């Protein structure tokens, strides 16, 4: 897996080799999610996607404002 954070760093500084700078550090990385064994950025993206779907379902089920007016 290529780490987006180190890839951004590579774009800013071309002094290091791209392959060394872009490899995922996994357990050595501060962003590594120990419980799910994946990058926390991936965890956040999945959670936000699920939340968006849940919120869309709630919005569909909400009654319209016209229902409460005379």
CB of 29 within 8 A of CB of 3? yes
- How far apart CA 70 and CA 2 sit, in angstroms, is 58
Q: In the prediction, which pLDDT does 37 show?
A: 86
- 14: its two tokens: 């071309």
Cα–Cα separations (whole angstroms), residue 28 to 5, 15, 39: 14, 22, 11
Q: In the prediction, which pLDDT does 28 show?
A: 81
Whether pTM > 0.85 for this model: the answer is no
Residue 20, SS3 per DSSP: helix
Mean pLDDT (10-residue bins), the chain, 70 residues: 59 55 75 85 89 93 70
Q: In the prediction, which pLDDT does 48 show?
A: 94
């Amino acid at each position: 897996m290529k780490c987006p954070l180190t890839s951004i760093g590579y774009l800013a500084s071309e002094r290091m080799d791209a392959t060394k700078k872009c490899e995922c550090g996994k357990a050595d990385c501060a962003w590594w999610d120990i419980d799910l064994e994946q990058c926390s950025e991936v965890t956040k993206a999945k959670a936000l996607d699920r939340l968006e779907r849940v919120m869309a379902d709630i919005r569909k089920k909400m009654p319209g404002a016209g229902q409460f007016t005379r």
